[in-house]
Amino acid sequence: MHIHAHKGFIFTYGALLSAICGAILGGFYLLQGWFIEWVWPGSYFRPLFNAVWLGIVGTLIYWTQRTTGQLPKSLGLIRADLRHVGTSSYKFVWLQMLIPAIMLTSGTSLGPEATLVSSTVLYGLWITDKMRYLEQHYAEIRSNGFMQLLRVCMTPHRYRTPRPASARHQSLWSPLTAAYLTIGIVCFYLTCKFGGEPSVIVYLGHSKWTATDLVWLLPLVIIGWLTGRVYLKGMVLLRKVLTNRVRSNIGLLIVGAIAIYCATLFAPAINFSGMHNFYLLATTWQSQGIGFLWCQSILKLGLLTICLNTGWLGGDIFPVLFSATAQGIAVAHLLPSVDPVMAIGVIAISMGGTILESPLVAGGVMGVMFLPPNLLPVVITTTGILWLLGRGRQYLRDQFGDQFALLREL
């Protein structure tokens, strides 16, 4: 009975922490949305204000680079910390939800998902470190009375135990981790819902696809995949040009600020994450011309690349899917005999999954948030084909990498 009470208390404590952290992350999402609405209440064409605001935000980014390091903390750095010390510093997790919320108001072609993912991982590590300490010292703590147990539970910066060296190669996933993550996601959703956040589900239209439309499925996947490969190479090239030509952090910040400033004045639809403007893709942009859609898509990816490589950090999932969806609308215009929403969805998943190098992310986000439910079989099939294309390409590179490298040199 005592053992069951011990396990039940620790599980309940972890569930409570997960709920609190989920609500905090929901608060961040609401905060960045409120900040954007406050800074950009109407017209974007405000040359003086835009310049001054970008200067303020750029100064804030430069200050954080010099004092706390990159915010939000990169997943690569978190993984490196886990391998070496069994945990990662979450000292600035509160700051990395405030600073990016302000930074996103500058009009960067970036989203809040980088901060959400990084903060979720850091909060998860903190929860597991606290629970690991409780597991190992529960009997000792209880022997000193209930007040000592309360003190351990209510002190966030103390009483933590990182993963031991023997367990650092093991996966962090477990049924318990999945349960806590689910609790956190539910609390995140409820916080956003009761905080007045509009629904993130924006369907691109109603699909009436039939079996005859499936004849175009594979060709559309290949078109999206090839387009994604071309754009990904272009983004890599732009990154190399930026990093080779501009070496100082402040110089990179200025380049990023100039690009964002120009976008706010002349192409405001490409500012922000894409989620902020996704309603355009479901409404007025579906009647726009092919040239306009292609131009906006390319500019969006260009601004995204510049921001990511000049210190104006954020998430790339929604910006890439915004660009890929615009491309999908353009392709759908060229195929009037194919169900347009199906064509848009297949191109968006194929191109977006290729650029993000994650078919499951592109397929999952598009299938849940932007495509009608009756397209689910098409979404699953497209994601599977794209995954197979990626695996096949990797196999060819592994088998014939030297020959391909020689051909590139020739």
Domain limits of the chain? Answer: 2-194, 211-409
Is 404 or 238 the better-scoring residue by pLDDT? 238
Q: What is the pLDDT of residue 361?
A: 92
For residue 404, name the pLDDT band (cuts at 50, 70, 90).
low
The helix/strand/coil state of 388 is helix
For residue 353, name the pLDDT band (cuts at 50, 70, 90).
very high
What string of H, E and C letters represents the secondary structure of 359-370? HHHHHHHHHHHH
Q: What token pair was written down for 187?
A: 């609390």
Most confident of 91-100, 358-367, 397-406: 358-367
Residue 247 has pLDDT above 90, yes or no: no
The helix/strand/coil state of 111 is strand
Q: What is the pLDDT of residue 10?
A: 87
The helix/strand/coil state of 81 is helix
Cβ partners under 8 Å of residue 192, min gap 6? 26, 29, 30
Spatial distance between the Cα atoms of 125 and 77, rounded to a whole number of angstroms: 14
Q: What is the pLDDT of residue 1?
A: 46
Residue 4 has pLDDT above 80, yes or no: no
Is the preceding peptide bond at 72 cis, omega within 30 degrees of 0?
yes
Q: At what angle do helices 317-334 and 340-356 cross, to 10 degrees?
A: 140
Task: Write down the architecture of domain 211-409 according to CATH.
Answer: Orthogonal Bundle (1.10)
Cβ partners under 8 Å of residue 139, min gap 6? none
Phi/psi of residue 94, nearest 5 degrees: -70, -40
Q: What token pair was written down for 373?
A: 């439910």
Q: What is the pLDDT of residues 125-153, one digit of tens each?
A: 999 999 999 988 888 888 888 888 889 98
C-alpha 242: how far from its chain's center?
23
**If you search the block for the tokens 């609190």, which residue do you land on?**
20
What string of H, E and C letters represents the secondary structure of 251-309? HHHHHHHHHHHHHHHHCHHHCCCCCCCHHHHHCHHHHCCHHHHHHHHHHHHHHHHHHHC
Spatial distance between the Cα atoms of 319 and 274, rounded to a whole number of angstroms: 5
Cβ pair 306, 238 in contact under 8 A: yes
**Which string of DSSP letters, residue by residue, matches 191-241?**
HHHHTTPPPS----------GGGGGGHHHHHHHHHHHHHHHHHHHHHHHHH
Residue 286 has pLDDT above 80, yes or no: yes
**If you search the block for the tokens 């905060």, which residue do you land on?**
31
In the chain, the amino acid numbered 259 is A
Q: What is the pLDDT of residue 5?
A: 60
Global pTM reads 0.86
Q: What is the pLDDT of residues 205-229, one digit of tens each?
A: 898 999 899 999 999 999 999 999 9
Q: How far apart are the first and last CA of the chain?
A: 74
**If you search the block for the tokens 């995949």, which residue do you land on?**
225
Spatial distance between the Cα atoms of 320 and 256, rounded to a whole number of angstroms: 18
Cβ pair 279, 211 in contact under 8 A: no
Spatial distance between the Cα atoms of 374 and 206, rounded to a whole number of angstroms: 9
Q: Give the DSSP letter of residue 74.
A: P
Q: Which of 39, 172, 27, 20 is closest to 108 using CA atoms?
A: 39
Cβ pair 313, 96 in contact under 8 A: no
Q: Which of 88, 105, 36, 95 is closest to 71 using CA atoms?
A: 95
